[in-house]
Amino acid sequence: MTKKLAESLIQQMELPAIASPMFLVSSKEMVIESCKAGIMGSFPLANARTLEDLDEWMTAITESLSAAKKDSDGKIGPWAVNIAVHRTNKRYDEELEFIKKYQPPVVITSLGNPSRVADVVHNYGGLVFSDVINLKHAKKAAEGGTDGLILVCNGAGGHAGSHNPFAFLNTVKEFWNGITILAGGISTGRDILAAKVMGADFAYMGTRFIASKESLANSDYQKILIESSLEDVIYTDVFSGVNANYLVPSLERVGIDPKHLPTKQEFDWSKTSGKKIKAWKDIWSAGHGVGSVKQTESIAEIVEQLKKEYKESNKTIEAVN
């Protein structure tokens, strides 16, 4: 049944790709334009800083996509929200109420047991995806009633795992028959096709969209992103307590020497640039696919390029066969 629901989502999409929810980056405009371009758009509920903002965002998304479906002959992708199910989310109950009210087709859970969210989402016929970085988390999410496992592999932006995507996907499929979504360094249409060939249902992409015109990322962040390469990404647990990928130039700009990082226990924010700085807000993240970002573009332009690369790669495979 879950696989059939996945197919129903894919039939609404031009590409089996999800613009992943990025803290302080994903905007309601990113969600709307991603869906209008034919992929799944998503945002973290935490990006709407107040509950009033959240109500406005979800109203705008549902109304815009409803209008787009009436006016467009093309495919309009489904939308998704990301909710942190950890005890540190002080708005958890309120956010669940907004999910009940607006009924996003997909809800992505992070940092904990998805069972309570699954009860709410399954009640209105939606799907729950859960991001996981290892087998322990994958099995717990499966037990919690999730419909899809987002395998956050080595090279993903933000909090990322360390597993090789081939090995992680193959191992998970030994016990999991539900939807699989692959994340980590996916940045081109060729990569999306490769994820499908490997057996994933969807590809999960974040870094490729940070420099989009609809992104909340500021111009300095986007400039550094465009100028960076694979070798400008560092994987460390110093800044948030959990391993994540960050852009080296963003560390340097606030006075942090990436070649002499302290441990997370030793790190002192006051010994950086002399001003109060924060991870994610002042130290910026990107995945291993950063080298594919060459310029600022609209979501529509990015997805059009992805579709072109996907189709060309598919033709090459068909020709070989």
Q: What is the pLDDT of residues 53-91, one digit of tens each?
A: 999 999 999 999 999 999 888 899 999 999 999 888 999
Q: Are 105 and 121 in contact (CB under 8 A)?
A: no
Tens digit of each residue's pLDDT (9 = 90 or more) over 179-188: 999 999 999 9
The Cα–Cα gap between 289 and 95 comes to 31
Q: With a cut of 80, say whether residue 319 has pLDDT above it.
A: no
pLDDT at 87: 83
Per residue in 134-155, pLDDT (tens digit) is 999 999 999 999 999 999 999 9
Predicted TM-score (pTM) of the model is 0.95
Residue 269 banded pLDDT, cuts 50, 70, 90: low
Average pLDDT score over residue span 95-102: 98
pLDDT at 86: 87
Alpha carbon dihedral 28, 30, 35, 40, in 10-degree steps, equals: -100
Question: By the 8 A CB rule, do 156 and 186 touch?
Answer: no
Average pLDDT over every residue of 115-138: 96
For residues 302 and 177, what is the distance between their CA atoms, to the nearest angstrom? 32
Residue 289 has pLDDT above 90, yes or no: yes
pLDDT at 314: 86
Mean pLDDT of 6-34: 95
Evaluate if residue 4 carries a pLDDT over 60.
yes
pLDDT of residue 106 exceeding 90, the answer is yes
Residue 270 scores a pLDDT above 70: no
Per the CB < 8 A criterion, the answer to whether 169 and 180 are in contact is: yes
Set out the domains of the chain in order of their start, with CATH numbers: 2-215+293-320 (3.20.20.70), 229-271 (no CATH)
Mean pLDDT of the chain: 93
| End-to-end Cα, the chain, rounded Å | 31
More confident residue, 239 or 208: 208
Cβ neighbours, 10 Å, residue 148: 25
pLDDT surpasses 80 at 268? no
Residue 9 has pLDDT above 80, yes or no: yes
* pLDDT at 273 (0 to 100): 56
DSSP state of 13: -
pLDDT of residue 7: 83
pLDDT of 265 above 60: yes
Residue 143's Cβ-count burial label (10 Å; 0-12, 13-18, 19+) is exposed
Q: Which residues contact 240 (CB under 8 A, 6 or more apart)?
A: 159, 279, 280
